């Protein structure tokens, strides 16, 4: 029980921090995006009111999800879209596979969908003989590198252009040593155009689905979702059940917030509203639960389901910027990943809520006002109560409680501590003290404040 | 008005000067201030580690020590925020609530309750202000760069009254220092890196002193400064507001 | 069946009903500077604006910017490059389109987004597959922001509709902005200037 996974994030961050220059580069890149987000937000005087409005709409969605899903289903069906329900990742993957197999298709082009990452769809399809090509440039890069995305909006933000150049050289035949983003993007454009034109099936994610009309909206900058969907005979859109919004007019609020929060852009290049299949085309929607209905029942954590996947909390998180997305060992990294993941597997992700200083910046940038840092704190309590901690930590905490519960014991412990620091610093300043690895211990004063006070104040 | 001085455990043990300055500053401003001798800790180190259920004794002790005062004042935004958000006691819940409402971090007590307009202090040095997260984002001691809001800063409002002081601008005005309680050892690599980066920002912008309304952040940055053999020192904001030259 | 399992779990777990916000109206940017703001946004998002007075002016623009051999398509009737659509075309046949241009419903000043539905596209894929994209925007159809936009869209029916804001782009490689990812490499707005009212009277 003691050999738990609780050290995972810290271990992976430790490795990431072996190359400090790279950490600086990663941190600066993401901070630059955060700065762009700030500039965009500060350009809108009603920004905070917009956030509040978005938050209220999403609260309403969670409180009425049952009806909205049923409404969406019937409207979508009336529009000629086929609706499927998947209780978990496995069902989701099976549904997608069977749709492809029923058409005799063995190749698919896919645009960005964090849900399919969560369900590990690519691996499943490949195991079943389906060739999947990711069409978002960043996703294509990590796919070629055989890595998961490290960020929900910027999948290959952890990769330097020289590394990407090498990947392209090995896989797409560019000249060795070429790392100009312009040239690499052009190469990917040509390579993926060929893919778009030859794939009979396209899978996209969903940013918003509208209960009122049964349509869904997909936002991209590259145009890859549209290129895939409008050329394919069968379009499969996969969405978590929380992506529903009540009415079309609510998109005005979300589309104003989404990209400004994500990258500082005023809106994505394409915000496509899919309502009916093209003539001769099949359109499917897979509604996926995969733990969401459980999270909905967790009062303290349900509003994490308000997330619109903008990634702002990652860009602002001082820990994420210095530990990299892969340190979260989950499809969704960063602060939002850390409050979503324990719902799926508390033991596996017990470390994530502790990978934060609780600085609260994530909560401030969240466009739908998820109280991310408060939930991190609450998950810590739940994780410990459920036993996903170490015996050593529990003992340390019990000793702390024992000491701090009694003023006498506290004063004695303080005295011993200060004495040790002063007279036997080697017992503290050594390799077993993780503080000491990069920081000096505070200097021990000759007396504590309470001792000083006692000496100088006799009136009380 | 009777004020109870709450001195966080690590300040009591390692940074008595911050507490002495707080006490003297309050006295200088005419406050009737007392230090209950049986206080220990707010319980935050355990709570933030996921052991809030072990803080019951700390909570009862806290209420026992501070229930009688009109205000509770402390030179630590983080500990004050913890008390405000998490102080409970099954047997004395009403008192717990009262304490939660009357506990103040020193800076906000000076600006909002005492409404201090003049501070007789002098500190002719270049100073960088570290915005401690819990004071800033939790207690709203100043506006936050993430929010679209009218800019304000309670610590600066006070520091600007100090004679001779020169406040430096930071490149990232409100990034976390990476201390984070047990985070500083549990996530040692990231924590230390955050601390180094925060210190670097102050150094690059010419700080001679780094100050904050929270000693824990300063303790973290001091550890890094000392490791680098830097001449730059840390001082709690009370020490500057109380400085005579 | 999973549908029932999921729905019953949701019904059991969803919290008490909360109200939807009523207020979805904000007025930034102000109406007076709306065209100026729109042009500024188009430039910011990598597009360009060409002022025209009548649709035929577009032909002149094309003759100056494209070769005679380039494949140019528009579903706008009466123009030189008009192509008729039956709806039965295979989308793949438009793969060699060099320039396609379209009428649009309206443009949004706050972000430069232009709303177009499939009845104005000829084929859904066309605005995406074309190498270069042209959009006709009438000045009087520039609206303030997305809230105004959805007041119009709310009452529209369509099979497919999209906001397009600039050429396709990516910054996936080290955050370097590159125009021309998978969709159009450039976007030209043909801004049809409104004739000031006093000329009409």
Per-residue pLDDT in tens (0 to 9) along chain A, 460 residues: 344 444 599 999 999 999 999 999 999 999 999 999 999 999 999 999 999 999 999 999 999 999 999 999 999 999 999 999 999 999 999 999 999 999 999 999 999 999 999 999 999 999 999 999 999 999 999 999 999 999 999 999 999 999 999 999 999 999 999 999 999 999 999 999 999 999 999 999 999 999 999 999 999 999 999 999 999 999 999 999 999 999 999 999 999 999 999 999 999 999 999 999 999 999 999 999 999 999 999 999 999 999 999 999 999 999 999 999 999 999 999 999 999 999 999 999 999 999 999 999 999 999 999 999 999 999 999 999 999 999 999 999 999 999 999 999 999 999 999 988 888 888 888 888 899 999 999 999 999 999 999 999 865 4
CB contact under 8 A, A380 and B138: no
Which of B20-29, C18-27, C151-160 has the least mean pLDDT? C18-27
Q: CB B48 to CB A401 under 8 A? A: no
Summarize pLDDT for B97-106 with one digit per residue, the tens.
999 999 999 9
What per-residue confidence (pLDDT) applies to A1?
36
State the best of C182, C183, C187 to mutate against chain A, taking most chain A CBs within 10 Å: C182
Q: What integer best gives the mean pLDDT of chain B? A: 97
Where is A162: in which H helix or E strand? Answer: helix A161-172
Contact C118, C75 (CB under 8 A): no
B224 CA: distance to closest CA in chain A (Å): 5
Report which of C53, C60, C187, C59 is spatially closest to residue C128, judged by C-alpha positions.
C187
pLDDT of amino acid C197: 60
pLDDT per residue over B197-227, tens digit each?
A: 999 999 999 999 999 999 999 999 999 999 9
Contact residues on chain B for A391, CB-CB shorter than 8 A: none
**C200 Cβ partners below 8 Å, 6+ apart?**
none
Q: Which CATH class is domain C40-195?
A: alpha beta
Provide CB contacts within 8 A for C143, sequence distance 6+: C34, C106, C107, C108, C109, C149, C152
Q: Read out DSSP for A357-420?
A: ----HHHHH-TT---HHHHHHHHHHHHHHTT-S-HHHHHHHHHHHHHHT-HHHHHHHHHHHHHH
Structure confidence by residue, pLDDT tens digits, C5-27: 999 999 999 999 999 998 777 77
Closest CB to A156 among C123, C172, C182: C172
Q: What is the pLDDT of residue C23?
A: 75
Q: How near does any CA of chain A get to the CA of B124, in Å?
A: 25
Tokens of A295: 């999270």
| Residue A300 buriedness (CB in 10 A; 0-12 / 13-18 / 19+) | middle
- How far apart are the C-alpha atoms of A372 and B81, rounded to whole Å? 17
From chain A, the residues in CB contact with B180 under 8 A are: 356-359
Q: Is B110 helix (H, G, I), strand (E, B) or coil?
A: helix
| List of chains touching A (3+ CB pairs within 8 A) | B, C
CA distance C62 to chain A (A): 24
Q: Is the pLDDT of residue B186 over 90?
A: yes
Determine which helix (DSSP H) or strand (DSSP E) holds B200, and give its type and residue range: helix B188-204
Q: What are phi and psi for residue A245, nearest 5 degrees?
A: -125, 155
On the 0-12 / 13-18 / 19+ scale of CB atoms within 10 A, C187 is: buried
As a whole number of angstroms, the distance between CA C172 and CA B186 comes to: 33
Contact residues for A275 (Cβ-Cβ < 8 A; gap 6+): A79, A213, A214, A215, C158, C159, C160, C161
CATH superfamily of A44-135+200-293: NagB/RpiA/CoA transferase-like (3.40.50.10420)
Residue C30 has a pLDDT of 77
- Sort B105 into a burial class: Cβ within 10 Å, 0-12 / 13-18 / 19+: buried
How is domain B126-241 classified at the CATH fold level? Answer: Rossmann fold (3.40.50)
Domain map of chain C by residue range?
40-195
pTM: 0.96
Q: What is the pLDDT of residues B117-131, one digit of tens each?
A: 999 999 999 999 999
Q: Which residues of A touch B64 (CB under 8 A)?
A: none
Chains A–C, number of C-beta pairs less than 8 Å apart? 247
Among chain B residues, CA nearest to A419: B13
CA distance C132 to chain A (A): 13
C130 close to C94: Cβ distance less than 8 angstroms: yes
**What tens digit of pLDDT does each residue of B41-98 get?**
999 999 999 999 999 999 999 999 999 999 999 999 999 999 999 999 999 999 999 9
Chains B and C touch (3+ CB pairs under 8 A): no
Instruction: Please report residues of A whose CB lies closer than 8 A to that of B12.
Output: 414, 448-450
CA–CA min distance C100, chain A (Å): 15
Q: What is the pLDDT confidence band of residue B245, given thresholds at 50, 70 and 90? A: low
- Distance between CA atoms of residues A24 and A1, nearest Å: 36
ipTM summary value: 0.97
Please name the member of A59, A66, A271 whose beta carbon is closest to the beta carbon of C162.
A271
According to CATH, where is 3.40.50.10420 located in chain A?
A: 44-135+200-293
Distance in Å, alpha carbon of A41 to nearest chain B alpha carbon: 7
Q: Which residue has the higher pLDDT, C196 or B170?
A: B170
Confidence band for C70, pLDDT divided at 50, 70 and 90: very high
User: Residue C171 and residue A263: Cβ atoms within 8 Å?
Assistant: yes
Residue with tokens 């990590």: A142
Beta bridge partners, A215, equal: A210
Mean model confidence pLDDT for chain C:
93
Residue C4 CB contacts under 8 Å (≥ 6 apart), including other chains = none
Residue of C nearest to A58 (CA): C20
Q: List chain C residues with CB under 8 Å of A221.
A: 168-171, 181
In this complex, the chains that touch B, judged by 3 or more CB pairs closer than 8 A, are: A
- The answer to whether B184 and B178 are in contact (CB under 8 A) is yes
Mean pLDDT, residues B134-138 taken together: 97
Q: Which of C7, C95, C124 sits opposite A69 (nearest CB)?
A: C7
- Asked whether the predicted pLDDT for residue C201 surpasses 70, the reply is no
Nearest Cα to Cα of residue B176 among B162, B159, B190: B190
Query: Which chain C residue has its CA at the smallest distance from A182's CA?
Result: C178
Spans of all domains in chain B: 2-113, 126-241
């Amino acid at each position: 029980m003691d050999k738990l996974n609780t050290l995972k994030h810290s271990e992976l961050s430790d490795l990431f921090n072996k190359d400090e220059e790279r950490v600086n580069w990663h941190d600066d890149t993401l901070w630059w995006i955060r700065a762009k987000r700030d500039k965009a937000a500060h350009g809108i005087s009603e920004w905070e009111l917009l956030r509040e409005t978005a938050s209220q709409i999403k609260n309403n969605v969670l409180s009425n999800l049952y009806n909205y899903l049923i409404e969406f289903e019937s409207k979508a069906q009336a529009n000629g879209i086929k609706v499927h329900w998947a209780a978990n990742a496995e069902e989701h993957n099976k549904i997608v596979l069977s749709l492809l197999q029923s058409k005799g298709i063995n190749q698919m082009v896919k645009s960005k969908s964090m849900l399919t990452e969560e369900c590990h769809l690519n691996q499943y399809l490949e195991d079943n003989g389906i060739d999947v090509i990711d069409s978002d440039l960043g996703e294509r890069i990590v796919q070629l590198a055989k890595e998961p995305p490290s960020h929900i909006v910027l999948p290959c933000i952890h990769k330097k252009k020289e590394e990407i150049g090498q990947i392209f050289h090995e896989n797409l035949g560019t000249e060795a040593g070429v790392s100009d983003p312009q040239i690499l993007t052009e190469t990917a454009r040509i390579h993926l155009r060929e893919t778009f034109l030859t794939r009979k099936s396209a899978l996209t994610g969903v940013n918003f689905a509208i209960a009122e009309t049964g349509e869904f909206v997909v936002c991209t900058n590259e145009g890859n979702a549209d290129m895939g969907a409008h050329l394919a005979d069968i379009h499969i859109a996969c969405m978590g059940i929380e992506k529903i919004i009540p009415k079309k007019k609510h998109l005005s609020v979300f589309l104003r917030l989404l990209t400004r929060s994500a990258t500082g852009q005023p809106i994505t290049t394409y915000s496509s509203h899919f309502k009916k299949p093209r003539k001769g085309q099949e359109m499917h929607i897979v509604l996926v639960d995969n733990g969401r209905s459980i999270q909905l029942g967790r009062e303290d954590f349900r509003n994490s389901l308000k997330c619109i996947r903008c990634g702002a909390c990652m860009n602002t998180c001082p820990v994420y910027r210095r530990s990299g997305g892969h340190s979260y060992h989950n499809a969704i990294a960063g602060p939002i990943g850390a409050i979503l993941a324990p719902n799926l597997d508390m033991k596996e992700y017990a470390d994530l809520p502790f990978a934060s200083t609780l600085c609260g910046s994530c909560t401030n940038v969240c466009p739908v006002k998820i109280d991310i840092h408060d939930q991190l704190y609450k998950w810590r309590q739940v994780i410990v109560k459920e036993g996903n901690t170490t015996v050593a930590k529990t003992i340390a905490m019990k000793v702390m409680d024992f000491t701090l519960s009694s003023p006498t014991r506290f004063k004695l412990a303080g005295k011993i501590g200060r004495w040790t620091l002063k007279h036997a610093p080697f017992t503290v300043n050594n390799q077993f003290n993780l503080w000491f690895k990069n920081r000096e211990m505070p200097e021990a004063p000759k007396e504590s404040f309470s001792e000083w006070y006692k000496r100088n104040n006799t009136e009380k | 008005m009777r004020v109870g001085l709450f001195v966080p455990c690590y300040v009591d043990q390692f940074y008595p000067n911050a507490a002495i300055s707080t006490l003297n500053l309050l006295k200088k401003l005419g406050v009737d201030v007392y230090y209950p001798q049986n206080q220990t800790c707010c319980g935050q180190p355990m709570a933030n580690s996921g052991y809030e259920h072990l803080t019951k004794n700390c909570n009862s002790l806290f209420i026992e020590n501070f229930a009688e005062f009109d205000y509770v004042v402390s030179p630590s935004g983080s500990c004050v925020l913890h008390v405000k958000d998490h102080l409970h006691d099954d047997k004395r819940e009403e008192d717990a609530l009262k304490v939660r409402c009357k506990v103040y971090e020193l800076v906000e007590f000076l600006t909002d309750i005492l409404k201090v307009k003049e501070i007789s202090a002098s500190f002719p040095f270049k100073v960088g202000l570290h915005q401690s997260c819990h004071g800033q984002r939790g207690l709203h001691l100043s506006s936050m760069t993430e929010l679209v809001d009218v800019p304000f800063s309670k610590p600066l409002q006070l520091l600007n009254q100090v004679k001779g002081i020169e406040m430096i601008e930071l490149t990232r005005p409100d990034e976390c220092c990476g201390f984070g309680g047990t985070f500083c050892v549990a996530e040692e690599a990231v924590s230390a890196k955050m601390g180094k980066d925060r210190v670097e920002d102050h150094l690059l912008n010419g700080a001679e002193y780094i100050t904050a309304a929270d000693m824990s952040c300063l303790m973290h940055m001091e550890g890094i400064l000392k490791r680098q053999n830097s001449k730059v020192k840390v001082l709690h904001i009370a020490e500057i507001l109380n400085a005579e030259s | 069946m999973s549908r029932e399992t999921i729905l019953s779990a949701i019904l059991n777990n969803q919290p008490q009903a909360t109200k939807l916000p009523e207020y979805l109206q904000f007025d930034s940017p102000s109406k007076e500077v709306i065209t100026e703001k729109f042009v500024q946004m188009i430039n910011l998002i990598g597009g360009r604006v060409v002022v025209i007075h009548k649709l035929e002016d577009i032909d002149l623009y094309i003759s100056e910017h494209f070769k005679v051999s380039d494949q140019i398509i528009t579903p706008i009737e009466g123009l030189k490059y008009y192509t008729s659509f039956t709806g039965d075309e295979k989308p793949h046949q438009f793969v060699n389109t060099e320039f396609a241009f379209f009428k649009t419903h309206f443009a949004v000043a706050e972000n430069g987004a232009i709303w177009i539905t499939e009845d104005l596209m000829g084929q859904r894929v066309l605005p995406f597959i074309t190498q270069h994209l042209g959009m006709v925007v009438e000045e009087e159809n520039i609206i303030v922001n997305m809230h105004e936009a959805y007041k119009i869209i709310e009452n529209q029916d369509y099979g497919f509709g999209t906001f397009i804001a600039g050429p396709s782009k990516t910054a996936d490689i080290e955050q370097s902005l590159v125009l021309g990812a998978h969709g159009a490499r450039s976007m030209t707005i043909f801004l049809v200037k409104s004739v000031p009212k006093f000329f009409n009277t």
